[in-house]
Structure 1
Amino acid sequence: MCGRYSLSKSKLELEERFQAEMLGDFQPRYNIAPTQLVPVITSDSPKGFSFFYWGITPDFAKNKPVSQKFINAKAETVHQKASFKNSFKTRRCLVPADGFFEWKRVGKKTKIPYRFTIGDGEPFSFAGIWEEYENEKGETKHTFLILTTEPNSIVQEIHDRMPVILKKSDEKKWLDKYSKDEELLSMLGTYTAEKMQSYTVSQQVNQVSNDNPSLIKKTSPMDQFGNYTLFG
């Protein structure tokens, strides 16, 4: 599962990295959570950023509020599931990020938050699919979800799934409406552990309302709990 991620880069950095224009302002985000409105790049508009809600209402379930949602789909079966296969074929997107969070359970009540990044904290993209639907008021809404896959050796220590991180060289093909299913599925493997790193962060990330630069800074176990033995 991927239930929280960060996008701490500036508008200019994102436009340069993804070669797409972002109309309007953008403030860096340090604790993105489901139901929030965040930037994506879609197969319909690959030269610009769109702002969609994280959490898809399946296209077979019309007129449901955003709160009744999915946030992830398994990459292994996304092309087969009735709720996702149409989006997989025609409505794919890049979800820009520069890190994601998972929680390691220690004991019965304690969960320790970790942040996972690539390289020196460079921006990258999750593989996503998007949907358009009408809510109960007849308003058109756009939503997306993030595909997940088997974890690599770094993520495996914390969680049994991880988001699909696309290679930069695959991003254009992921958005290309003419890409074949076989080619698309081949992009959805596990990202190599050698290019990733992880570290513990503040418990403040547990609260969705917290969204500031301190959330992505490395925090030692002693700072969080006053006890290093939790990591023994």
Structure 2
Amino acid sequence: MCYDIAFHTTIESIFQYLPALKRGGQPPAGFNATYHKIGMSFPQWPVVVNNNGLQLDYYTWGPVPKMLNTPEKVKKQRQMFLNARSEKVLENGTMWNAIRHQRCLIPATGFFEYRQIPGWKNKVAYYIRPKEQELFFIAGLWALSNSWDVDKPDRIPTFTLLTRSANPVMAQIHNGGDNAGRMPLMMPNDLAQEWLHTDITDTDIRNLLQYEQPSHALDYWPVNSVRKVKPDDATVIAPVQYEGLPALTV
């Protein structure tokens, strides 16, 4: 699943892609452009919602569903809700179906996935981004969640990132683990704005969820592991040469 994303541009650039966008809340203290954030740190992130018009706000990555009703459960299981399978959005009885009308967009400049190589001890990290634009949008859902934080007793706005089955290139990169063969539900600008329309039907939602970012529209290259402590700068996404790394089939 997708737990590692980047936003190494300015907040102002979001407005260039969504001219009708209005400002909502203020950026959280210390929010800066970043070359890597991991979902398991539950960071605050810029999101776009439709609140009587498109609005930019800052929500926390990682909902806390009602079933996680103790701090201990939150600590142990919250990371399971950082991503949501797009197939579950219209599946009756799921948490994601219940909040399917609480849609949002997650701006990003890229994301990371790990490739498993037969015979290699360690997986190889890849950085992936669209070819044609600096910034893109990932479809998401938002929810008000219990924070379980004594400093934040009120419910807080949170979001989850939608994933879908991988395109042919991403299937080769994200090829290991329990959730192999997935990728973020990236949306071109026109579909991204449709995703936030307040009057779309379940049929409309189903059609939007079918969109697959084509392999040929992506740039991707190997990088050093992003799960190790390092400076948050351009070195995070610098290409790395791995001797003997099998080529991807395009």
TM-score, structure 2 normalization: 0.80
Per the TM alignment, residue 59 of structure 1 is displaced from its structure 2 partner at its CA by 4.8
2:163 corresponds to 1:151:
no
One-letter amino acid of the structure 2 residue matched with residue 191 of structure 1: Q
| Greater shift in the superposed pair: 77-86 or 31-40 | 77-86
Residue 87 of structure 2 aligns to a residue whose secondary structure is coil
Q: CA–CA distance in 2 between the matches of 1:3 and 1:15?
A: 25
Contact 1:44–1:91 (Cα < 8 Å) also in 2 = no
- Cα distance, 1:151–1:55 mapped onto 2, change above 3 Å: same
Q: For residues 188 and 180 of structure 1, what CA distance do their matches in structure 2 show? A: 12
Does 1:78 pair with 2:89?
yes
Q: Matches of 1:74 and 1:185 in 2, distance apart? A: 13
Structure 2 gaps of 5+ residues are 175-180
TM-score (normalised: structure 1): 0.86
Tell me, in whole angstroms, the C-alpha distance in 1 between the residues paired with 2:236 and 2:15. Answer: 24
Is this contact kept in 1: 2:64–2:147, CA < 8 A? no
Give the conservation status (yes or no) of the 8 Å contact 1:55–1:66.
no
Moved more, 74-83 or 172-181: 74-83
State the secondary structure of the residue aligned to 2:170. Answer: helix
Contact 2:22–2:53 (8 Å) recurs in 1: no
Matched, 1:166 2:152: no
Unpaired segments ≥5 residues, structure 1: 222-227
Q: How many residues align?
A: 224
Show the counterpart of 1:224: none
Query: 2:178 matched to which residue of 1?
Result: none
| Counterpart amino acid of residue 204 in structure 2 | E
Q: Is the 8 A contact 2:68 2:74 kept in 1?
A: no
Question: In structure 1, which of residues 180, 184, 188 is the aligned counterpart of residue 209 of structure 2?
Answer: 188
Match of 1:213 among 234, 240, 248: 234
Task: Provide Cα deviations, 1:12-52, integer angstroms capped at 9, x if missing partner.
Answer: 21222233345645521111211111111123365332111
Q: Does the CA-based 8 Å contact 1:166-1:188 persist in structure 2?
A: no
Please provide the CA RMSD for this pair: 2.3
- 1:40 counterpart letter in structure 2: V
Q: Deviations over 1:153-183 (max 9, x none)?
A: 1101111100101121112221112111111
For the Cα contact (< 8 Å) 1:154–1:197, is it kept in 2? no
Residues 42 and 63 (structure 1 numbering): CA distance in 2 closer, same or farther, change over 3 Å? farther
Deviates more, 1:51-60 or 1:27-36: 51-60
